[in-house]
Amino acid sequence: MSFVIRIGIISDTHNLVRPEALDALRGSEHIIHAGDICNPAVLDTLNELAPVTAVRGNNDSGARIDDLPEALTFHIGNTAIHLVHDIADVPK
């Protein structure tokens, strides 16, 4: 048996989430943020729409952001997702 889940994907928000991005993410059941968040308020805004899984990007540091991993493998349903900010960090 299979199921369908709408996953929103975003990165490089650099301190803000534009209204157009919020509109595109609305209705997502899960949001993935691939780094360069810069301000934890971005995660708070996205969490109002759906649960968020995020990693740190090369421009990320500071309170709450430092707690994020640089890479993360997690599952949504039966699908494994490996999340990094920079494609060069994907294991070969």
Residue ranges covered by each domain of the chain: 7-89
Measured between alpha carbons, how far is 25 from 6 in angstroms, rounded to an integer? 9
Q: Report the chain (92 residues): mean pLDDT per 10 consecutive residues.
A: 86 96 97 97 97 97 94 93 93 80
If you classify domain 7-89 with CATH, what class do you get? alpha beta
pTM (2 d.p.): 0.93
Among 70, 45, 58, 48, CA closest to 12: 58
CB of 10 within 8 A of CB of 34? yes
